[in-house]
Structure 1
Amino acid sequence: MSLSAQLVVAVVALLHAWFLVLEMFLWTKPIGMRTFRLTQEFAERSRALAANQGLYNGFLAAGLAYGLCVQSREIVLLFLAFVVIAGAYGAATVNKRIFFIQAFPAIIAAMLVSWR
């Protein structure tokens, strides 16, 4: 993998690690509620769901980090595919912005990883 591919994959992994923190630990805090445009009441009611979602984002970050550590294109591409699918689903069901925040960077990373 080229250095540029590794850097973009690392950015995608860091984004998902940040999503984990936002969803698991900051969901009901001002930064979490501002980021996701939540009311205090909704944030409190949906806290457990958000934490679960954050955990999945952590798995995506861990898979990407592992793939980078062992220099496995296949593992990195698999986890990037998971990110793209999650981002596309989120864009279709929640907010189109999710595509550009989550799926688009993963698509760019996948293109760089695939480019030999």
Structure 2
Amino acid sequence: MLLVAKILAGLVLAIHVYIVLLETVLFKTRGRKVFGLRKEQVATLAPAMSNQGCYNGFLAAALAVGFLHPDAAVGHAFTVFGLACVAVAGIWGALTVQMRILYVQTVPAALALGALFLA
């Protein structure tokens, strides 16, 4: 079960790295399409999306530390913290922005947390 938990946590990490890229460096091209925005909206939303991308970068960083920290207990704590933050952020995003966020962020994070606690 630990292997499943690590695979799921790695998937959540990869999703968040992609989200960071979409909200920052790819926002005006691929990000605009993924988020369903018109060209006219891009200039106005770019600063806010870049800021949001920064926050998502911190979520990805917490998960990366979970994988890379040499002390297993510290790594586990970072992983749990990162997954819990992703799950909560996904719930908030689903309530305030779009329900799809629940399935893209919260469900994978909750599955990873469940697998981690069962391991």
The TM-score range, normalised by the shorter chain, is over 0.9
Aligned equivalent of 1:22? 22
Instruction: State the secondary structure of the residue aligned to 1:83.
Output: helix
Deviation at 1:26? 1.2
Query: Residue deviations 1:21-63, cap 9 Å, x none?
Result: 000011111x211100001111111101000101111111110
- Structure 2 matches for 1:1-116, cutoff 5 A? 2-29=2-29, 31-70=30-69, 71=72, 72-116=75-119
| Percent of matched pairs sharing the same residue | 35
Query: Residue deviations 1:73-92, cap 9 Å, x none?
Result: 22211111100110000000
Structure 2: tracts of 5 or more residues without a match: none
Number of residue pairs aligned between Structure 1 and Structure 2: 115
**AA paired with 1:61?**
A
Superposition CA RMSD, Å: 1.1
CA distance in 2, matches of 1:110, 1:63: 14
TM-score in terms of structure 2 length: 0.92
**AA paired with 1:90?**
G
Deviation at 1:2? 1.2
CA distance in 1, matches of 2:93, 2:39: 22
CA distance in 1, matches of 2:33, 2:62: 28
TM-score in terms of structure 1 length: 0.94
**AA paired with 1:84?**
A
